[in-house]
Structure 1
Amino acid sequence: MTVQTALLWILPSLQLLCSAQRTPRLKFHLKDVPAVRFDSLQRFTAHFHDERSASLYIGMTGRVVHLSFGHGNVSQTLIPLALDDNSKDSCKSKGTLSPDLCRNVITVIERLNVSAIIICGTHAGSPSCWFLHDNGTQLATDREGHGIVNDGRGISPPSPTQPHATIAVEGSLYSATSDSFLGNGAIQRSYGRLKSLKTEDKWLQAPGFVEAAWIKMKDSSKDEIYFLFSESNGNEASERAVRSCIGRVCKVDEGASKSPQDSWTTFLKAQLLCGFPAELRYFNKIQDASVLLVEGDPQRSTVYGIFSSLWNSSAICAYSQADIDWAFKNPKLKGFTGSLPASPKPGTCGISNVPRNVLTAIRNYPELEVSILPVKDRPLYVVKHTSYTKITADQVKGANHDYYPVLFVGTGNGKIHKVLHNDGEAFIISELSPFQTEAPVSAMTLDPSTGHLFVGTPLETVRLPLANCEVYGRACWQCVAARDPYCGWHQVSKTCVSVAGAENDTESEILQSIKQLNISICDGEAGLMSFDKEPKMLTVHSPAYLYLPCPVKSYHAVYTWSYNQKDRFSCTIQDDSCPLIFNRHLPVSSGEFRCIASEDGLEEVLAVYNVRFSGSTHPDQTGTAIIIGLLAALSLV
């Protein structure tokens, strides 16, 4: 084979490398993780985990299931919340088309205080709430032993298909729904010692809420509650018919003392942009969001969002809390042309008596003129033909004591992408497949204190370790090349370990290379890595086609085959293999074939075959190709 021909064969692999950063570097099918499989397809949107515990509450139809994860097993406690016959009959008499509308689908589970968990459901179109007390599995009852039912309007939507968001803050419940009982969607506060407030109808336009977050400031009187949502964009057509927004209220908002309606006095909203302005290409609808809070320094916090487009792709955008904070603290109200006092500015937290003209301006013009742009004015990355559904984020302390944001992103087919966000760039560390059946990831809850991620689909729920370091391999370079902030190579034990679990060891004992792939820190492990199995001997009876499999480890690597350690051939990744396939268009002679993976200066030999032809040295007809391929594949197991 000539050098020119070899280059032509390698070119497709180089083109693949250009887009490699948009794909997971590694893929793992996880087994033996604590899991619960449901008997039938469940519609649930409530997923609550008590931090520092092994428990998880899942809201389903007519019940809440309390899961307690142990070592290798999961115990279940059923908390029934079925409809009474009168409510069911009343709903059916209205002639509703969907069966879900005449059921009690649990949509909200939040801990209000140390002794009470609130549960709310659709309750056949009449949203209702209940409380759990004692050990967290017993419903609060009246003197006759009946469950105490509270009005849940504005907390749970009347239909399970309506998006909503809730968060409990210091005994108060902040909820956002597109509930038709409250007009055109509303954000409200209920329970607790603070005054009940809600937005006015004209402030929101058919909103679809995805997330709520509590932003803690150094001065707690300045604390804010964020709501992330999509809403109708007026009369715009096509992809501009929907836009994404961030709304915000102050935690200590007391409402207007003489207002005829208990409305927020600090509510403001701003549009979130995610896309490529130079190309006029935007991802307009927010699908889910997560706020990564930095304790003690809220300005360094980050808002992450999944955004979708009409052309079957998803984007991840990151927004600096400092940028969001500046926009809300220096508000220029969209459409407002009047004058306002220099202080207090609209939406200022901690002000007890807001001037009437400021209240009037907010009431009529609650939107900021400025839009919030993502970090570096572009998405972290875009994935095509993959729908992202859920996202959560963690702040991970590396061996060098620096902190790295790591995202966990759920997909529409039940995968989880583990993503490093470093200096404005994204690196997809791995793709995890923990479920038996493909289904959209519908819930994700992260607990950094215990080092676990709870993930649910309508069919299954699993608990995953955040640091599953042993999957990366038994060599230093394999551990370091993963670029996983949770994991590092322990030079004493010669294993890939959790950095948090080895925090008592000195920094010099743990090797990591997070910002870029650099295995030179592994002594004696640079250059070409050898394959740890003996070469497979294959005798081929001519005539035949030859098929040699090669296991794919890193999907960011370029895979080539060498013939007698000289000529190079390209291959195309097919599932988990990059096979070498010879036919009449590419004849081959007896010799040694090696599959080599190349990635950022690292080369690893993954497969070696010594092939001998018993007849003609240039096969040109079909023969035992399938048998050879199967035998070769078995040799790699």
Structure 2
Amino acid sequence: MESHSLLSLTVALLGFLSPCLTRLTPRVSFPVGSPGRPLTHFRSHEVSNTTTLLLSEDGDMLFVGARDAVLALDVGHRDTMTLRSKLDWSPSEKDLAQCSMKGKKMADCPNFIRVLQFFNNTHIYACGTFAFSPRCTYINSETLTMSLKSDEGRGRCPYDPYQRNTAIIVDGELYTGTVADYRGNRPVISRHLSEGRRVDLKLDDTLGWLEDPTFISSSFIPNEEKIYFFFSEVGREYDFIDKFIVSRVSQICMSDVGGQRTLQRRWTTFAKAQLLCQADNELPYNVIQDIDTLPPAEGAPADDTLFYGIFTSQWSVNSGQSAVCSFRLTDIKSVFSGNYKVLNRDTLQWSTQVQEKVANPGECGLHNASDNALRFVKENFLADDSVRPVARSLTMVSAEHSYSHLTVQRVQAANNRDYTILFLLTESGYIHKTVLLQSGAHIIEEVQVFEQPQPVKSLKLSTSKGMIYVGTSEGVLRLPTANCSFYWTCPQCVLARDPFCGWDPASRACVEVSNTHTSLGQDVDRGNVEEVCNSVSLTHRAKFGPNKLPAGELVSVSLNEVVQLQCPAASRLSQQLWERPNRRLSPDLYLHLEDGSLSFVATPTTLGHYLCLSIENGYQQTMAIYHVRQKSSPLAQTPTSYTWPPIHHIPTTQAVAKPGPGPGLHSSVVTWPKTTETRQGKTEPTLSSRDNHITTRQQGRNLTLWTEESEQKESGFREGEPLLSARGPCYLKELVVVSVLLVLCLSVLITVLMYIIRQRCHSRTAPQTSSPTRDSDRRTPVEQEALRGNQLLSKRNRQALNSGQASGVVCNGAITGSNGHLPNTPI
């Protein structure tokens, strides 16, 4: 048995190494405070840890369990949540001192409300941790006052405020799953507040029916007269893996009153089974985080009840991932009615049941069974088979988000078909609104509900009011389930694929689906815009012929300047595409950035019109039109006509161009041929500011609107003539300036060269002067006298040369006489 289990796990591990996960991207994202998705908040500096929520049946009152208080919030008005009353319920100074003496932090010693359930039509039953000494009380729901003195809450509420628990009241009896001791070592599933012949019941502590569990939720199925508990615990049947966590579902019968001799005041109908959230040949997502019950559709049997749960994995290979699995009630019942494993008390080993079946464990009415039958069910409480998910596959898997809480709702669309909507709360503070389709899960939107991670949270759904309430440690916030008014056009309304919303052709608005609207346009399964929005007006398609261009946003640039054109995305699922008339966007000239914008260098070739399209689910719409133009002079025109490539399945709507800062320009209503609407007043295209070399979009700076009429006025063309391509600008002035500068440079260069040559010639022919001391000693008096005369004559000649009166000719730096010999030199 052990080797077989190891082999099975090895195969599962190998198969899990290469799973194919589909990336789930929310179509629209709303950050905190976004005007497109308003939230209603309730906060008070006197209230904290508002994490336990209880909604009235009519949805007008929300009771909140907080720290040292119970609140009653009036939520009947759509835009506000107001505090109607508050009940203070805090420990005394003595209780706090005792809690501190037990070694607990003072921050954990207040009374944290962990159980809040309607006891009847007039009272609420509440339990709190109360300084690690749980207390419970009855509260009047109208006056929010205590009707009786609080009593001990042991086994009804956890001691530690951070321990998870579950509680539900059915017919005035409290069914709980929690721990029954101060250290948290005695987990129990018990019944309290029983009266008459019914007695309070709990699990037998000595049987090991629970192995270090973490309680998640509980659910009452009326037709079954059973309470189902959901939790995770250590799976002792997998003894070859240390602390292997498994998810469980357990059941008890409401009619159980315990055995007469065996299992007195103990459950006789307790049984548990493994919840297996696993796809074929993959490791299971074995740790349950939250679960919610979806009742069957109207007229469907109770066996069609579904339980949707969030599961994570304890292995690092699945770290950060969450999976959603759904389980059908009929499958749970089938597992509990099958075979059970047997626990050997001597070896603590589990084995499959092989002996004769004395009784059916989990069957209601066993409290009247014989002692032999009760001893059998006492040893056989773990079902042999596991509960598999619906269709034996995962409902959805997220590789990017870790989900912690969920709530589920069934919605009837405009075509009268039912769709399942999941509201999933992520650890990072987003609610993902998801619709389950045949093709898979589709995240309609994500809404950020809080910025900082919250340690304890809860979700409460009001289907009658169409609201979701989120309880956090800082306050309570409310979110409408539908947000149809955000989709301002028929294509946007259809592409959202929201079962709550449909397009009303009469009011030309996206409205909530109801019985009053019978002819709404909607396609949740495919999101086909062409079929739903075929009534969109096409009367403006012929306004611009093939040789005319519509208006666009003018971007004035200088040549060789880096230009970046922004293209706002219609949604996070759309793709941006850029086009030019009669031109191909060469990758050598254009750079497509990750945010969808287009970057290029302004040259005569790249000047002109640009069109940005957003493509989603086969539907295209115009998001931005730009006209890139040189600053210095108006564009000259050459006889070239512009025609745009055809765009399929695109109904044409109007685009309103806003006035620019330039004089003489005006607004005009224009239409791009064979394209869809430009977003009016929603997401106007914006040019991001990079540096001084990138064109920025600022009010009154270098940007104006370029209309067909203004372009024709500046170009000098008559009405009806086609727009022509650009001629290059004249550079005559620049040529003259460059020529003059070149001549001056050459003149200076020649002058410098002549001066250098003259200096070199003079240095080579200059006379060498002898030393006056040594030569004078060797000359005779006659020679010395002649030499003095020669020097005097040379001095006079130099003076004459400088004054321009020398009679000789300068040659090679020497002065000669008329006879060609040096003066005063003997012949």
TM-score, structure 1 normalization: 0.84
Residue 165 in 1 paired to residue 166 in 2?
A: yes
Deviation at 1:446, TM superposition (A): 0.5
Aligned-partner SS, 2:696: helix
Deviations 1:54-85, CA, capped at 9 Å, x for gaps: 22222222112221122432211321111012
Match of 1:512 among 522, 526, 531: 522
Q: How do 1:300-339 and structure 2 match up within 5 A?
A: 300-309=304-313, 310=316, 311-333=319-341, 335=351, 337=353, 339=355
Deviates more, 1:117-126 or 1:31-40: 31-40
Which residue number in structure 1 is paired with residue 692 of structure 2?
A: 624
Residues 487, 100 of structure 1: CA spacing in aligned structure 2 closer, same or farther, 3 A cutoff?
same
Residue 274 in 1 paired to residue 277 in 2?
A: yes
Task: Supply the distance in 2 between the matched residues of 1:380 and 1:483 (Cα, whole angstroms).
Answer: 18
8 A Cα contact 2:432 2:443, kept in partner: yes
Residue 174 in 1 paired to residue 180 in 2?
A: no
Which residue number in structure 2 is paired with residue 523 of structure 1?
A: 534
Match of 2:260 among 233, 246, 257: 257
Larger Rg: 2
Residue 407 in 1 paired to residue 422 in 2?
A: yes
Residues 52, 526 of structure 1: CA spacing in aligned structure 2 closer, same or farther, 3 A cutoff?
same
Match of 2:229 among 227, 230, 248: 227
Which residue number in structure 2 is paired with residue 108 of structure 1?
A: 115
8 A Cα contact 1:20 1:556, kept in partner: no
Q: How do 1:65-214 and structure 2 match up within 5 A?
A: 65-69=71-75, 70-76=77-83, 77-96=85-104, 98-133=105-140, 135=142, 137-141=144-148, 148-180=149-181, 183-193=185-195, 194-201=198-205, 202-214=208-220
Residues 610, 256 of structure 1: CA spacing in aligned structure 2 closer, same or farther, 3 A cutoff?
farther
Residues 409, 134 of structure 1: CA spacing in aligned structure 2 closer, same or farther, 3 A cutoff?
closer
Task: Supply the distance in 2 between the matched residues of 1:372 and 1:120 (Cα, whole angstroms).
Answer: 33
Task: Supply the distance in 1 between the matched residues of 2:329 and 2:694 (Cα, whole angstroms).
Answer: 57
Q: How do 1:383-462 and structure 2 match up within 5 A?
A: 383-423=398-438, 425-435=440-450, 439=454, 442-462=457-477
AA in 2 matched with 1:197: L
Residues 355, 573 of structure 1: CA spacing in aligned structure 2 closer, same or farther, 3 A cutoff?
farther
8 A Cα contact 1:407 1:419, kept in partner: yes
Which residue number in structure 1 is paired with residue 43 of structure 2?
A: 37
Task: Supply the distance in 2 between the matched residues of 1:566 and 1:324 (Cα, whole angstroms).
Answer: 64
Deviation at 1:319, TM superposition (A): 1.7
Task: Supply the distance in 1 between the matched residues of 2:24 and 2:582 (Cα, whole angstroms).
Answer: 32
Residues 254, 515 of structure 1: CA spacing in aligned structure 2 closer, same or farther, 3 A cutoff?
farther
Deviations 1:176-213, CA, capped at 9 Å, x for gaps: 11443584311111114443112233111111111111
8 A Cα contact 2:611 2:622, kept in partner: yes
8 A Cα contact 1:117 1:136, kept in partner: no
Task: Supply the distance in 1 between the matched residues of 2:310 and 2:421 (Cα, whole angstroms).
Answer: 15
Deviation at 1:409, TM superposition (A): 0.5
Residues 87, 399 of structure 1: CA spacing in aligned structure 2 closer, same or farther, 3 A cutoff?
same
Task: Supply the distance in 1 between the matched residues of 2:621 and 2:452 (Cα, whole angstroms).
Answer: 33
Instruction: Report sequence identity in percent.
Output: 29
Task: Supply the distance in 1 between the matched residues of 2:691 and 2:123 (Cα, whole angstroms).
Answer: 71
Match of 1:242 among 238, 241, 245: 245
- Structure 2 residues not aligned, in runs of 5+: 1-19, 343-350, 542-549, 636-689, 706-827
Residues 388, 59 of structure 1: CA spacing in aligned structure 2 closer, same or farther, 3 A cutoff?
same
Task: Supply the distance in 1 between the matched residues of 2:551 and 2:203 (Cα, whole angstroms).
Answer: 70
Deviation at 1:481, TM superposition (A): 1.8
Task: Supply the distance in 1 between the matched residues of 2:272 and 2:593 (Cα, whole angstroms).
Answer: 48
Deviations 1:10-67, CA, capped at 9 Å, x for gaps: xxxxxxxx98761111223454432113438944541211122222222222112221
Deviation at 1:468, TM superposition (A): 2.1
Which residue number in structure 2 is paired with residue 483 of structure 1?
A: 497
Residues 257, 425 of structure 1: CA spacing in aligned structure 2 closer, same or farther, 3 A cutoff?
farther
Deviations 1:228-284, CA, capped at 9 Å, x for gaps: 111123487989732211112122222223335422111111111223341x33322
8 A Cα contact 2:263 2:374, kept in partner: no
AA in 2 matched with 1:176: G
Aligned-partner SS, 2:72: strand
8 A Cα contact 1:477 1:525, kept in partner: no
Which residue number in structure 2 is paired with residue 63 of structure 1?
A: 69
Residues 593, 158 of structure 1: CA spacing in aligned structure 2 closer, same or farther, 3 A cutoff?
same
AA in 2 matched with 1:61: R
Match of 1:498 among 474, 498, 512: 512
Task: Supply the distance in 2 between the matched residues of 1:570 and 1:228 (Cα, whole angstroms).
Answer: 54
AA in 1 matched with 2:447: L
Deviations 1:365-392, CA, capped at 9 Å, x for gaps: 3111111222233322222242211100
CA RMSD in angstroms, aligned pairs only: 3.4
Task: Supply the distance in 1 between the matched residues of 2:365 and 2:434 (Cα, whole angstroms).
Answer: 37
8 A Cα contact 2:339 2:353, kept in partner: no
Which residue number in structure 1 is paired with residue 758 of structure 2?
A: none
Task: Supply the distance in 2 between the matched residues of 1:626 and 1:41 (Cα, whole angstroms).
Answer: 51
Deviations 1:430-460, CA, capped at 9 Å, x for gaps: 1123447665781110111222111232223
Task: Supply the distance in 2 between the matched residues of 1:25 and 1:605 (Cα, whole angstroms).
Answer: 18
Aligned-partner SS, 1:286: strand
Aligned-partner SS, 1:24: coil
AA in 1 matched with 2:332: I
Task: Supply the distance in 2 between the matched residues of 1:491 and 1:401 (Cα, whole angstroms).
Answer: 19
Deviations 1:534-555, CA, capped at 9 Å, x for gaps: 6321112344333322223322
Deviations 1:394-425, CA, capped at 9 Å, x for gaps: 11122222221111001112211011123483
Aligned-partner SS, 2:333: helix
Residues 38, 341 of structure 1: CA spacing in aligned structure 2 closer, same or farther, 3 A cutoff?
same
Task: Supply the distance in 1 between the matched residues of 2:86 and 2:337 (Cα, whole angstroms).
Answer: 47
Task: Supply the distance in 1 between the matched residues of 2:449 and 2:78 (Cα, whole angstroms).
Answer: 17
Match of 1:580 among 587, 598, 617: 598
Residue 593 in 1 paired to residue 605 in 2?
A: no
8 A Cα contact 1:163 1:210, kept in partner: yes
Task: Supply the distance in 2 between the matched residues of 1:231 and 1:548 (Cα, whole angstroms).
Answer: 56
Which residue number in structure 1 is paired with residue 295 of structure 2?
A: 293
TM-score, structure 2 normalization: 0.66
Which residue number in structure 2 is paired with residue 11 of structure 1?
A: none
Aligned-partner SS, 1:129: strand
Deviations 1:331-352, CA, capped at 9 Å, x for gaps: 433535354558x622123555
Looking at both structures, which has the greater relative contact order when contacts are Cα pairs under 8 Å and sequence separation is at least 6? 1
> How many aligned positions are there?
589
Deviates more, 1:603-612 or 1:262-271: 603-612
Deviates more, 1:443-452 or 1:19-28: 19-28
Deviation at 1:565, TM superposition (A): 7.2
